[in-house]
Chain A
Amino acid sequence: MLHIVDDEAVVRDSLSWLASSRGIAATTYDSAAAFLAFAQSGAFDPEGDCVLLDVRMPEISGVAAFDQLAARGLTARLPVIFLTGHGDVPMAVDTLKRGAFDFFEKPFNDNQLMDRVQEGLAASREASGKAAVQARLATLSSREREVLDLILAGKMNKVVADELGISMRTVEVHRAHIFDKMQVKTAVELAGLLK
């Protein structure tokens, strides 16, 4: 989902139309405050989302809104692309350093912008996936982590049992728990997830 935040209705509508022409679903917000309100609600899931944020807006500027998103730890999984009407290279560099995904100066090449938006959506999905794997890894016990590392090294259950000084049977129980917790069925699938 693409979130378009701009105080200018013309810009919102045209960008929304442009996104739909590329098959990208978009919602529009007429102010930073409206978007922040939505981001705070439970309905908001940043996975697979991207934000087009106008820099110059009344009340809360784009940069201030970005800062609030960053404060909530959202910017890691939610790529933000800034739009500005006035070329301001220092500000662009500053926001990119602080984690903005990209920066476009009006007038921009519309399809280039949309390409970038799609990259942003993909990045968001990837970041969300990685976050999920990390969450599952966090549920493993320390013995299970040891077993996991040895499995990833491609060792057979017997070798694992010898190295850790436990019985084959115990290794098999751990292995079953690891597959269960990581929500995979095979070792190959597990290796792909932790690549």
Chain B
Amino acid sequence: MLKRISLPSSVRWLLPVVLVLLFVAIVFWLPWQARQLESTERQEQLIADTLWVEQSIRFQLGRHEESLRGLANEIATGHPAPADVQQRMERMLKNGAELKSVIQVDPHGRVVVASEGAPVGAGTNAMLGQSSLAAQDHARRTHSPVYAEPEPLGGDAAPDALKMDLHFPIYRGDQWMGSLVATFQLSSLLDEMVPWWFAQDNQISLLDRDDKVLARRSSAGPGHGVYTHKRALDLPGATITLMTDSVKGEPKLLPNLLVGSVIALSLALLWSLFALWGHISRRLAAEGELRQQMSFRTAMENSLVTGLRARDLEGRITYVNPAFCQMVGYPAEELIGRSPPMPYWAPDVMEEYQHRLANVLAGSITPEFETLFQRPDGTRIPVLVFEAPLVDKEGRHTGYMGSILDISDRKRMEELNRQHQEKLQASARLATMGEIASMLAHELNQPLAAISSYTTGALNILARGGDTAMLKPALEQAGAQAQRAGQIIRSVHEFVKNRESERQDVALQSMLDSILVLIELQARQHHVSLQIELPDSLPLVRADRLLIEQVLLNLTRNGIEAMGDVQPLKRVLRVVAENDPLAGMVVVQVIDNGHGIPQDVAERLFSPFFSTKAEGMGMGLNICRTAIEFHGGTLTHRDNPQGGTIFTFTLPVAGGVK
């Protein structure tokens, strides 16, 4: 997991918001700036072009001034013929269409020479007009060329056509010899001297000092008044301003595709940003939900009383829940990552675990089994384990998940149940055996005690040297009591005969089957494996079912309990039966691998009230032997060559020797 810089959430949100706002501001500022830039550029272009136009007008007018100066000098110095003068004038006219006419006037105002196209006839004053005359006067006084204020052209020209006169005084020395007057048509000035490419983009006007339009050229339509520039023509005597006005309007807000696409992309960017934002929010919500689910699950696992344990394919523990830790008494840190052998394996059941682990590694698991775990303090807990393969999201097999149930309580209940049941059965069977024993004891006790008393009394009398005649009734009584004892013995025979009537032809297998549950319960509890080997050909036996079942229960229990100290793999109890056709008997052997029977114990093994067990009544083997002998069989024992003891009993085959 990445380490995250923890910022207050307000600051974390502030940064992107500020950035987005900045971005939006720039997106709007940039086209505006571009527009400003374009506007400035155009303005500057216009100014430059206007200057150019002004220069070319000034230049053209200058050329005309030069020509007039030459002509004036010639007139002043050389008296040229009027025809020559006129010829020169005609040449000047050809040099520029803006120049409408040139005339030479004498100091009295009379026209000396006039070019073609000059108004003829009318008086010079009337012809020249008011401002022209003022200019003439001005020029004469200053000895330098002076332009007159524009005036209507008059004559056959258009009524709104204006002219501008240039008065060039002619001096010979200090003597004024008249003037040369050149008349320019203002409109022609613009038409001739403004280049076409400039006129195409701009409306060009000439203005007088009151900003009144004198002449205008607008071949591409009227100007928009957005880009304008004024430039004074700087003509001596006349105040004329050149004004240009671009036909182009203000630049459009989105003048080009570039800006448009930038904005479109920006919008797209913003949209995707918001989409991302939304995605992140959804993701955060999902993450929160996941975390809640996780904590829910963790709480669930922690509250379980069932232990959970996951193992990988090598048998290493990858997960345990608290219930499991509590069950085995080790903390999770000590368990996770552990490879077998596990600390909670009981040492004496180790082989069983190893065997199962080998199976697991080979890929085959036992889905449900019972086993033992051992806590660090040595207490053992019987557990029931359910295991299932663990599969990851790609469907790959990654290990095993096991749930473990502590079945101590169940085991205890089973054990209690078993003991209870066994006690019931034992008492039922003991009642049968006890009936005989008790009856014998009680019935024989009285006559025997009486005989004893009579004989002792008789001996007392003899010892005292008393009257021997007294002895007769006593001895008669003793004889009678001996008779009675004999009768009792006979009645016991009767009783046994009665029990014989309960004998039946029964298969050993069916008797074993009916008590197998009890034997197996006990075997499992002591980790003893049970092997029963009964040949199919075994004949039926003639037996009192209850008694023989009791014998089998007693012998198997003795065998199982005798193996308590033997290592688990060797704890095998075998019940083997075979037919002995010669003796007409079925021989049953109960074989254990237990501690065997020491010699001193063996001698008293079948005596009543003898027991090596703390809880034993000492009646078991005694009753067993009595029961077997009632059936006409024998019960014996010998040492097992492989260690332990073999108890052997025989039962008569059904229909055989009675």
B461 touches A8 (CB 8 A): no
| Chain A residues with CB under 8 A of B473 | 17
CB closest residue in chain B, given A108: B449
How distant is B402 from chain A, measured CB to nearest CB, in Å?
Answer: 54
At the interface, yes or no: A65 with Cβ under 8 Å from chain B? Answer: no
If A8-B446, A10-B446, A10-B447 touch, does A111 touch B460 (CB 8 Å cutoff)?
A: yes
Closest Cβ of chain A to B458, distance in Å, is 7
Which residue of chain B is the closest to A23 with respect to CB atoms? B464
Q: How far is the CA of A14 from the CA of B449 in the complex (A)?
A: 9
Q: Is the CB of B479 closer than 8 A to any CB of chain A?
A: no
Please give, as numbers and ranges, the residues of chain A lying within 8 Å of B453 by CB-CB distance. 11, 14-15, 17-18, 110
The answer to whether residues A85 and B445 also contact, given A10-B450, A14-B477 and a CB cut-off of 8 A, is yes
Among candidates A15, A20, A106, residue contacting B445 with C-beta atoms closer than 8 Å: A106
* Interface set, chain A 117-137, CB cutoff 8 A to B: none
Q: Known contacts A14-B477, A21-B461; decide if A107 and B445 are in contact (CB<8 Å).
A: yes
Contact yes or no, A18 B446, CB < 8 A = no
The docked-state distance in angstroms from the alpha carbon of A15 to that of B446 is 12
Interface flags for B439-466 (1: CB within 8 Å of A; 0: not) read 0011001111111111011101100101
Could you tell me the distance in whole angstroms from the C-beta of B446 to the nearest C-beta in chain A? 6
Let me know if B448 and A14 touch, CB within 8 A: no
- A107's partner among B449, B458, B464, B484 (CB-CB below 8 A) is B449
Q: Does B133 make an interface contact (CB < 8 A)?
A: no
CB distance from A81 to the nearest CB of B (A): 14
Is the pair A13, B457 in contact by a Cβ cutoff of 8 Å? no
Residues in B neighbouring A185, C-beta threshold 8 A: none
Q: How far is the CB of A184 from chain B (nearest CB, A)?
A: 37
Assess whether A106 is in contact with B449, with CB atoms less than 8 Å apart. Answer: yes
Residue A177 interfacial (CB < 8 Å): no
User: B86 contacts the other chain (Cβ, under 8 Å)?
Assistant: no
B233 at the interface (CB under 8 A from A): no
Given contacts A8-B446, A21-B458, A21-B460, contact A110 B452 (CB under 8 A): yes
User: Please, what's the 1-or-0 string for A9-44, where 1 marks a CB less than 8 Å from any CB in chain B?
Assistant: 011011101101110000000000000000000000
CB of B115, distance to nearest CB on chain A (Å): 176
| Residues 71-86 of chain A, each 1 if its beta carbon lies under 8 Å from chain B, else 0 | 0000000000000011
The distance in angstroms between the C-alpha atoms of A11 and B445, with both chains bound, is 10
* CB within 8 Å for A21 and B446 given contacts A10-B481, A14-B477: no
CB pair B457–A18 under 8 Å, yes or no, is: yes
Q: In the complex the two chains form, is B449's CB within 8 Å of A11's CB?
A: yes
Residues of A within 8 A of B446 (CB): 8, 10-11, 85
Collect the chain B residues with CB atoms within 8 Å of residue A10's CB: 446-447, 450, 477, 481, 484
Q: A8-B446, A85-B445, A107-B449 are in contact. Are A13 and B456 (CB under 8 A)?
A: no
Return chain B residues, CB-CB under 8 Å to A107.
445, 448-449, 452
Cβ–Cβ < 8 Å partners of B466 in chain A: 21
A8 contacts across to B, CB distance below 8 A: 446
Q: Which of B447, B456, B464, B481 contacts A18 (CB 8 A)?
A: B456
Residues from chain B with a CB closer than 8 A to the CB of A20 are: 457
Nearest chain A residue, comparing its CB with the CB of B442: A85
Question: Is B474's beta carbon under 8 Å from chain A?
Answer: yes
Interface size class of B (residues with CB under 8 A): 20 to 34
- Residues of A within 8 Å of B457, CB to CB, are 14, 17-18, 20-22, 110
Could you say which residues of chain B place their CB within 8 Å of the CB of A15? 453
On chain A, the residues within 8 Å of B481 by CB distance are: 10, 14
Pairwise interchain contact B460-A13, C-beta atoms closer than 8 A: no
Given contacts A10-B481, A111-B460, contact A17 B449 (CB under 8 A): no
Query: A85-B442, A106-B445 in contact; A11/B450 too (CB < 8 A)?
Result: yes
Chain A contacts for B448, CB-based, 8 A: 107
Known pairs A10-B481, A22-B460, A111-B460; A17 contacts B445 (CB<8 A): no
Q: State A22–B456 Cα separation when bound (angstroms).
A: 10
Cα distance A15–B453 when bound, in Å? 6
Q: Once bound together, how far apart are the Cα atoms of A86 and B439, in whole Å?
A: 12
Which residues on the A side are within 8 Å of B474 (C-beta)? 17
The interface residues of chain A lying within 8 Å CB-to-CB of B442 are 85-86
The distance in angstroms between the C-alpha atoms of A56 and B470, with both chains bound, is 31
Q: Which residue of B has the minimal Cβ distance to A18?
A: B457
Whether B449 contacts A18 by the Cβ 8 Å rule is no
The CA of A11 and the CA of B454, in the complex, are separated in Å by 10
The CA of A22 and the CA of B463, in the complex, are separated in Å by: 10
Measured between C-beta atoms, what is the minimum distance from B253 to chain A in Å? Answer: 121
Provide the residues of chain B in CB contact with A17, threshold 8 Å.
453-454, 457, 473-474, 477
Residue ID in chain B nearest A83 by CB atoms:
B449
Question: Could you tell me the distance between the alpha carbons of A110 and B451 in the complex, rounded to whole angstroms?
Answer: 11
Distance (Å) between the CB of B403 and the closest chain A CB?
Answer: 52
Q: A13 near B477 (CB under 8 angstroms)?
A: yes
CA distance A68 to B454 in the complex (A): 31
Return chain B residues, CB-CB under 8 Å to A11.
446, 449-450, 453
Q: Can you list, as one digit per residue, whether each of A82-98 has a CB less than 8 Å from chain B (1) or not (0)?
A: 00011000000000000
Complex Cα distance, B470 from A18, in Å, reads: 12
> Would A111 and B456 be within 8 Å (CB), given that A10-B481, A11-B450, A17-B477 are in contact?
yes
Minimal Cβ-Cβ distance residue in A for B455: A110
What residues on B are CB-neighbors of A22 within 8 Å?
457, 460
The answer to whether A18 touches B460, judged by C-beta atoms less than 8 angstroms apart, is yes
A29 to B473, CA, bound (A): 20
| CB proximity of B482 to chain A, nearest CB, Å | 12
Chain B residues with CB under 8 Å of A110's CB are: 452-453, 456-457
Q: What residues on B are CB-neighbors of A111 within 8 Å?
A: 456, 460
Write out the residue numbers on chain A whose beta carbons fall within 8 Å of the beta carbon of B461. 21
Q: Give the shortest distance, in Å, between B591 (CB) and chain A (any CB).
A: 37
Q: Which residues of A contact B445 (CB under 8 A)?
A: 85, 106-107
Q: What is the bound-complex CA distance between A38 and B634, given in angstroms?
A: 56
In the docked arrangement, what's the CA distance between A107 and B442, Å?
11
Chain B, 268-295, contact with A by CB distance < 8 Å: what is the 0/1 string?
Answer: 0000000000000000000000000000
Question: Besides the contacts A13-B477, A107-B448, A110-B452, what 10 more A-B pairs have beta carbons closer than 8 Å?
Answer: A14-B449, A14-B454, A17-B474, A17-B477, A18-B456, A21-B461, A22-B457, A86-B442, A108-B449, A110-B457
20 A-B interface contacts by CB (under 8 A) = A13-B450, A14-B449, A14-B453, A14-B454, A15-B453, A17-B477, A18-B456, A18-B457, A20-B457, A21-B456, A21-B457, A21-B458, A22-B460, A85-B441, A85-B442, A85-B445, A85-B446, A86-B442, A107-B445, A110-B453
- B: residues with CB less than 8 A from A are 441-442, 445-454, 456-458, 460-461, 464, 466, 470, 473-474, 477, 481, 484
Which 6 A-B pairs give the minimum distances between C-beta atoms?
A14-B453, A21-B457, A110-B456, A21-B460, A18-B457, A14-B450
